[in-house]
Structures are given as structure tokens and as C-alpha cells.
Amino acid sequence: MDLKEAKFVMSNTDWRKCPKPVLPEYAFIGRSNVGKSSLINMLCQRKSLAKVSSTPGKTQLINHFLINDNWYLADLPGYGYAKVSKVKRTKFHNFTLDYLRNRENLMCTFVLVDSRIKPQTIDLEFFEFCGTKKIPFVIVFTKFDKLKKTEKEKNIALYQEKLLESWNALPPMFFTSAVKGTGRDEILDFIAETNTL
């Protein structure tokens, strides 16, 4: 797929107020700092599309972008612990989980994980949530340029091992670098193949 145009549409916290669910939608989620904004900008070939929506106060919102006037990209709030506070914050916003449970045009959720880091409980919990709620997801390994080949293989194998403890099959996986553009064609082709409502 050729990604020609990406337009910011709106930000909100309520799935009912998201754009009318008349186009296929793909959501992007992951722990804070996983490289989500960089990946979205890389996919859209824009320097600061996602950063526009990540200005203070907007990072914790569901941000919608209209792509090629043909599908929606939903940039979901990062999860994990808030760095600004020593107090443990809610790991996931309820409104994000409500969005995932209820958004009828959601075709697939791209769950980003940092390829340099071993499987984290919070990511495994999120996969579990998607599984029990029947939310289709794929895994996107980020920052692939930062790893040596052996390190990449080790971390991927660890993920596969963990996933196979609770699943019979593995979800599709994408290996990306926002710096080098790795994985862009694969992700856009996957979207092109699946975006029929």
C-alpha cells in the first residue's frame, strides 16, 4: 500500500465520540517510550504527525488519524507506570480498554514491544486481555536497529516461549526500526490485505 495522506482528525477519551465507525480502523498501543510516536511517523512519513498529538495534555488521549481517506489509525495512550510520579498509576486507562472492547470497526491492534527488553508482565497481561476479549492483535518489535542479530533472536524466542504458554498459535509479528524504515512495507501490506469492513 502506498500511504499518501495522513490527517489528524480528533482526540478524545470516549469510544462513543470517536469518528463514525464507517471505515476500517487500526490501533497502536504499547508501553510509554516503546517508540510508538516514532513508528507512526515512520509509517506516515511525517516528521511529527504523532508528536502533534503528543504535546502535553494530549498524550493520554485516543488520537485518530485518517489515512488515504480510506482507514483510521488510532494512536492509543501509552501504558505502564507514569514517570512523573513515584506513585503507581493505573497501568491501563479504563477508557482505552473500553475503546478496545467496543470499537466495532477495529480490525487489528498493533501492540508494540521494545525488542531490546525481555517480555514484560504488563505486555503479557495485555496480550491476555486481547485474547479473552477476542480483540485481534499483532506484535510489533520496535528499535530493531539497536540490536545485534543474536540479541534479536534471543528476545523473539523469549516472546514466543511466553506466548505459547497460553496460546496455541503465535500472532503475526513485525520487526521494525523507525530510524531505518524497517518493517514499513510489511505493516502497510498487512493493513491493505485486511482493511475490509
Q: Given the complex with ligand GDP, which of 34 and 61 has the nearer CB atom?
A: 34
Query: For residue 119, how many other CB atoms are within 10 A of its CB?
Result: 16
Q: Give the residue with the Cβ less far from ligand GDP, 32 or 166.
A: 32
Beta bridge partners of 73: 26, 65
Q: Smaller CB distance to ligand GDP: residue 63 or 142?
A: 142
Give kind and range of the element (H or E) at residue 138: strand 137-142
Q: Does residue 93 bind ligand GDP (CB under 6 A)?
A: no
Mark the segment that binds ligand GDP (CB under 6 A) among 14-22, 29-37, 97-105, 148-156: 29-37
Q: Of the two residues 115 and 195, which places its CB atom closer to ligand GDP in the complex?
A: 115
- Please answer whether residues 183 and 175 qualify as being in contact, where contact means their C-beta atoms are separated by less than 8 angstroms: yes
38 binds ligand GDP, rule: CB under 6 A: yes
Distances (CA, A) of 11 to 57, 67, 143: 11, 16, 27
> Is there binding between residue 78 and ligand GDP (CB under 6 A)?
yes
**What is the distance between the alpha carbons of residues 77 and 100, in angstroms, rounded to a whole number?**
12
168: buried, middle or exposed (CB in 10 Å: 19+, 13-18, 0-12)? exposed
Q: Which of residues 109-168 bind ligand GDP (CB under 6 A)?
A: 142-143, 145-146
How many residues touch ligand GDP (CB under 6 A)? 16
Among 9, 164, 170, 179, binds ligand GDP (CB under 6 A): 179
CA distance 42 to 36: 10
- Judged by CB under 6 A, which of 5, 9, 17, 33 binds ligand GDP? 33
Phi, psi of 193 (to 5 degrees): -75, -25
Instruction: Give the nearest distance from C-beta 68 to ligand GDP in angstroms.
Output: 22
Binding site for ligand GDP (CB under 6 A): 30, 32-38, 78, 142-143, 145-146, 177-179
